[in-house]
Structures are given as C-alpha cells and as structure tokens.
Structure 1
Amino acid sequence: MRSISDIRRDYTQAGLDVEDLTPEPFALFNRWLKNAVDANLADPTAMTVATVDSKGQPSQRIVLLKDFDEAGFVFYTNTGSKKAQDLSQNSKISLHFPWHVLERQVKVLGVAQQLSSVDVAKYFMSRPKPSQIAAWASAQSRPINSKQLLMQKFAEAKAKFVKGEVPLPSFWGGYRVVAHQIEFWQGGEHRLHDRFVYTKSADGQWVTERLMP
C-alpha cells in the first residue's frame, strides 16, 4: 500500500460565494441535501452525531437525519444508548454531513431537545415492521455475548408481535437539534476551500461570515 500521506486530490467541482447564500441556513441546507439525494449518493441523510459525556470525552456515531426545518434537525434513537445518556447530562451536540462525492460538508452546532411522545410514536409507526421489532430486541450500546443471542432476541420479539401493530417501546425516543451555528464547506482548488458560517445572534437573526480554509 502506498503511503497514506501521498493520498490526496484536488477539489474542482464547484464553488460557494456570497451570491449563493440564502438569508437563513435552512434553505441552503435543503438545496444541498436535495443535490445529494439527486446525485444518488449512498445514504445522503447520514450524519455524524457528536456528543460529550460527563467526563468530557467526545463520542461520535453515524445516524440518519429523519426530518428538518427551521426548528431543527431530527433523529431517533434508543434512550438507553450512549448518545442518549450523554445528552441527558450535556445537551450540547454537533452534527456533520460528509457529502464527499460532491466535495461538500455541513457542520451544525446546537442543543438537543427531546421530542414529544406523540412525535416519536408517529414516526415509529411509519417504520417497517422488522425495524420496529429490532428496536424491541436491541438494548442499544449494551454488551452482548454473540450475534446469535441478538438474533434470538429478535426472533422472540418477532413472535411476540406476530399479530397486530408493534407498540412504541418506552425506551425509544427522538431529538430535535436546535442549531445556533451552521457551516457550509465547498472544496476548492489548491486547498482554497470556500467556507461560510451562519451564526444566530442574540436577537435571533442569522449572521454570515466567510472563513479562511
């Protein structure tokens, strides 16, 4: 294998300038997300979710974005998971959308707020039944001795809910990330990338700045 220090490429697909910006960041995010979907990227809604535990240790994982609007970015999870436990102690959160094929990234800084049980139930009931059953079978982030044991738990849950609807687990919930800063990154030639950051001011207005790469 060649030296990883020699692995590089130039970014020449597009640029990002002031005239490309929107008054608030969500319209631009919507445009970029649509571009990612239209480009048939694998998992265009995948985002890295970063949390910090009570000892100050950051932790990251990939989660799928399930909704967004001007109120925030929504995802769902087992409330016993590592990320949920972190958020119960520190609600500050960061999201990252890595659209490498389009030479784009979006970074979101904000606070995670738990969704209402009504909103969670509405989404849970829209999931495919096997995914609903898997939520019951997995105590997310907990140790397990084997994949066989996990599949056994799935089979038991499947048998339990063979008839009728699968109820919402009490340990399953969702979060809305209320953003106060959103950065858009577009790769540029010679590493002169275009970076614009939207920051929410004290009066609730979005202020934009260009950042050096």
Structure 2
Amino acid sequence: MSDLSDIRREYTQGGLRRADLPNNPMDLFETWLTQAKDAHLSDPTAMCVATVDAQGQPYQRIVLLKRFDNNGFVFFTNLESRKSTQLATNNKISLLFPWHNLDRQVAVTGHAEPLSMIEVAKYFMSRPKDSQIAAWVSKQSSKISARQALEGKFAEMKAKFAQGDVPLPKFWGGYLVRPDSIEFWQGGEHRLHDRFLYQKDTDSNWQIDRLAP
C-alpha cells in the first residue's frame, strides 16, 4: 500500500470573514465563480453531483453547471442515465465545486426538480451540432461492447442529421437544484480553514453559521 501521509501543503491564499458575507449566498457564489473564471481555472463550472440509489448507495460524477440564479443551479443530462433514475425515486442531491487552485470549495445540498420542455429545448438548440448528435448516440450509463459501437452510431446519426436541425431527444432533459444549504470553504494556514454554512430556516430565510475547520 502506498503511503501518502507526507503529501500536504499550506493554504495561504487568504481568509474569509463574516463581515465579507452577503445575506444571499448566491451573491457570494457568483463572485467566487467569476474569480474562478478570471483565474483561468480548468473547467471552473465543473461540479461533482452526488445522488443515492434505492439501496442507499451514493454515486458521484462530474457535471457542468449551465446556469444559476436565486432559484438554484441548473444542469442537463440524459433522463435515462443513472443519476436521473436515482433522482426519480429520491430527488435529494449534493453538489461540490472544487476550486483547488484558489483554495476554495462550495458544497450544496438540496433537491432536484425536472426542467420544463421549453427550458430544455432552448438550451439544446444552443449546443454545437456535434453535441446535439452525441445526445442521440449515447444511452448513458448502459453497458456497451466497445468504443467502436459509439463511433459507428455517431457517424450514422451525423449522416442522418446532415441536413437541417437536430431534434430534441425525448430522453434528454435537465434539472434545477434548489438549495437547502450552501457551504463556502476557504483554505487557511495551519489547517485553520474558514467555513461558513448558509441554511434556509422555516421562513426560507438564509441563516449563516461559522463551522469549525
């Protein structure tokens, strides 16, 4: 077994103080995401999405955030995928934005709601044509014999849709994640990290607490 115990570094990029926190966590999220983009991080909108199956087994995967506002966070996916199947029976969900180079992470808990067909179609038509075709090709999370099967199907569908628009697949959609809590983590020296947790109370107002690192 490899010993990884000596791999560590200090987090020295600055702290996070209560006086810096807006009342609305989405305002701070927008600031941090803008700073992540301005820092030219690789895939600043990438987030780890966690769902749970019927047996209580958690699953995680990286998905790209496509939109956010005061209602929550939006992503798109195949509705026959593992994540969608799990959300159909348990819509509780967790998101994690890992901005390592800034010594930051944002963790979200909440529940996922399917987007309307109008919202899904609007985004689908904005995608590059090859991405639209790829949505038709992959039966996400299903077993396949070889990569060549995917490539062959892609070539077939590309020829089929060579002329005109690519229609929206019935099995393709998206979700709005309405947050119940949002935690902001800023790395600190000597492992004295700054953590602030926003949680909604019974009146849907945001309460803020500092957490021990």
Q: TM-score, normalised by structure 2?
A: 0.99
Instruction: Report the AA paired with residue 153 of structure 1.
Output: K
Kindly provide the CA deviation profile for residues 46-67 of structure 1, in whole angstroms up to 9, marking residues without a partner as x. 0000000001000000000000
Identity of matched residues, %:
63
Distance in 2, Cα, partners of 1:51 & 1:148: 30
Instruction: Report the AA paired with residue 56 of structure 2.
Output: G
Per the alignment, residue 134 of structure 1 pairs with: 134
Cα-Cα RMSD: 1.0
Q: Does 1:13 align with 2:13?
A: yes
Q: TM-score, normalised by structure 1?
A: 0.99
1:1-213 correspondence runs (5 A): 3-213=3-213
Deviation at 1:3, TM superposition (A): 3.2
Distance in 2, Cα, partners of 1:147 & 1:109: 35
Distance in 1, Cα, partners of 2:18 & 2:181: 17
Give structure 1 regions of 4+ aligned residues with deviation exceeding 6 angstroms: none
Deviation at 1:204, TM superposition (A): 1.1
- The count of aligned residue pairs is 213
Kindly provide the CA deviation profile for residues 91-116 of structure 1, in whole angstroms up to 9, marking residues without a partner as x. 00000000000000000000000000
Distance in 2, Cα, partners of 1:145 & 1:35: 42
Distance in 2, Cα, partners of 1:166 & 1:197: 43
Distance in 2, Cα, partners of 1:185 & 1:156: 47
